[in-house]
């Protein structure tokens, strides 16, 4: 056996554990936008894209029969949307950071920027992983009377690009303090909280779900106010959000190039003065990158139990959901340009408060 072949065999064996914890299998289907039971489909399944007259719907393998009875004419797009993500060749070239690396980088930022960055533990996931937020502000150890803004990624653990982009933006803010006026101003006048992994159990496995459940359908909403999720990553962030009293938040998802605001659970509008503020803000943010902007339920689909609805409903904060780029884990070479298309709109959002 040549050294090359032997190394390859060793490498493939090393990959096995990664492969064996691979996530639930999700198929994707195409459904025409004029489907009469689309709201019912949206309640049970996740619509992730709307283009060219069709929705793309994610369906867990064990729910395929149920889906087919609701949408008998639906065309299958992919049997396993994450097949590429979990294949050895994809892992080889992906270059995306692991759960452990992101955790280490979070603590490294605290070490590199004492006085500006501080790690806060706000709970533990169902599988016992620490839920971490990085607070960034001048006098970071003190809670000052400054607007509080939350930026989060990986609510869906397979949307890997969201974590990379948020990490880069965070580094830019910290590195730019005292050398770039806009970052100096942000750090001096706001308290920023960054959460790279809302759903670490999902992210560690490169899975959309946590314990087989979609976290972004687990938040209470006006039609289901008493709902308490079994997911600790959801109940913990809810407590944290209410404790810190955020003025606004962005939950980054992928993909779709969309800047979205509540409501998601209904096609009805939020209170009119809030609706105007959401519209003006997202329109302004979209100027920098040409993303589409609008109300979640209108721009894409009706979804019940999303974080944006909950945060707006309970605290009247400006809570956005943003779908980045055109893929959940684009090739690594595209990351810098995606960071670029995300940065201006994010700075505008923070400055708004």
Return the sign of the alpha-carbon dihedral for residues 87, 88, 92, 98.
Answer: positive
| Cβ-based nearer residue to Zn ion, 113 or 209 | 209
Instruction: Say whether residue 253 binds Zn ion (CB under 5 A).
Output: yes
Rounded Cα distance between 8 and 5, Å, is: 5
Terminal C-alpha separation, the chain: 63
Q: Is the distance from CB of 187 to CB of 139 less than 8 angstroms?
A: no
Instruction: Say whether residue 206 binds Zn ion (CB under 5 A).
Output: no
Rounded Cα distance between 340 and 337, Å, is: 5
Q: Give the shortest CB-209-to-Zn ion separation in angstroms.
A: 11
| Cβ-based nearer residue to Zn ion, 135 or 156 | 156
Q: Give the shortest CB-353-to-Zn ion separation in angstroms.
A: 24
Choose the binding region for Zn ion from 58-66, 170-178, 187-195, 245-253 (rule: CB under 5 A). 245-253
DSSP, res 286: H
- CA 261, chain centre distance (Å): 14
Alpha helices, DSSP H, located in 245-302: 272-286, 296-299
Choose the binding region for Zn ion from 21-29, 74-82, 250-258, 329-337 (rule: CB under 5 A). 250-258
Binding-residue pattern over the window 68 to 107 for Zn ion, x denoting contact by CB under 5 A:
----------------------------------------
Rounded Cα distance between 7 and 29, Å, is: 39
Choose the binding region for Zn ion from 5-13, 75-83, 154-162, 190-198 (rule: CB under 5 A). 154-162
| Cβ-based nearer residue to Zn ion, 148 or 156 | 156
Q: Is the distance from CB of 191 to CB of 135 less than 8 angstroms?
A: yes
| Cβ-based nearer residue to Zn ion, 173 or 322 | 322
Rounded Cα distance between 84 and 101, Å, is: 21
Rounded Cα distance between 271 and 204, Å, is: 39
> How many residues touch Zn ion (CB under 5 A)?
2
| Cβ-based nearer residue to Zn ion, 135 or 205 | 205
Q: Give the shortest CB-154-to-Zn ion separation in angstroms.
A: 9
Query: What residues between 262 and 321 interact with Zn ion by CB under 5 A?
Result: none
The DSSP element (H or E) to which 238 belongs, if any, is: helix 232-244
Q: Give the shortest CB-81-to-Zn ion separation in angstroms.
A: 12
Rounded Cα distance between 352 and 140, Å, is: 21
Q: Give the shortest CB-60-to-Zn ion separation in angstroms.
A: 15
Give the residue, chosen from 129, 156, 190, 328, that forms a contact with Zn ion under the rule CB under 5 A: 156
Q: Which pair of structure tokens corresponds to residue 270?
A: 């939020």
Q: Give the shortest CB-156-to-Zn ion separation in angstroms.
A: 4
Binding site for Zn ion (CB under 5 A): 156, 253
């Amino acid at each position: 056996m040549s050294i090359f072949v032997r190394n390859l065999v060793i490498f493939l064996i090393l990959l096995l554990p990664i492969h064996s914890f691979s996530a639930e299998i999700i198929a994707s289907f195409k459904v025409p936008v004029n489907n009469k039971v689309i709201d019912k489909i949206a309640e049970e399944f996740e619509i992730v894209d709307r283009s060219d007259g069709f929705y793309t719907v994610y369906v867990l393998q064990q729910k395929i029969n149920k889906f087919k009875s609701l949408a008998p004419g639906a065309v299958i797009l992919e049997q396993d949307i994450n097949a590429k993500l979990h294949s050895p060749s994809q892992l080889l070239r992906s270059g995306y950071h692991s759960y452990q690396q992101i955790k280490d980088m979070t603590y490294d930022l605290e070490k590199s920027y004492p006085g500006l960055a501080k790690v806060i533990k706000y709970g533990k996931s169902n599988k016992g992983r620490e839920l971490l937020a990085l607070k960034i502000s001048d006098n970071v150890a003190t809670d000052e009377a400054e607007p509080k803004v939350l930026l989060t990624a990986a609510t869906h653990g397979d949307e890997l690009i969201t974590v990379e982009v948020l990490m880069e933006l965070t580094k830019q803010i910290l590195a730019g303090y005292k050398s770039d006026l806009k970052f100096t101003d942000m750090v001096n006048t706001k308290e920023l909280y960054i959460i790279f992994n809302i759903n670490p159990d999902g992210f560690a496995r490169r899975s959309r779900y946590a314990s087989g459940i979609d976290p972004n359908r687990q938040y209470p909403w006006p039609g289901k106010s008493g709902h308490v999720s079994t997911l600790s990553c959801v109940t913990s962030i809810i407590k944290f959000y209410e404790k810190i009293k955020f003025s606004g938040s962005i939950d980054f998802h992928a993909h779709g190039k969309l800047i979205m605001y509540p409501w998601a659970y209904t096609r009805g509008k939020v209170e009119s003065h809030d609706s105007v503020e959401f519209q003006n803000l997202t329109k302004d943010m979209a100027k920098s990158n040409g993303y589409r902007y609008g109300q979640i339920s209108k721009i894409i689909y009706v979804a019940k139990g999303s974080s944006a609805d909950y945060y707006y409903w309970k605290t009247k904060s400006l809570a956005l959901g943003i779908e980045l780029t055109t893929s959940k884990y684009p090739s690594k070479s595209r990351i810098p340009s995606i960071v670029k298309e995300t940065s201006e709109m994010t700075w505008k959002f923070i400055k708004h408060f």
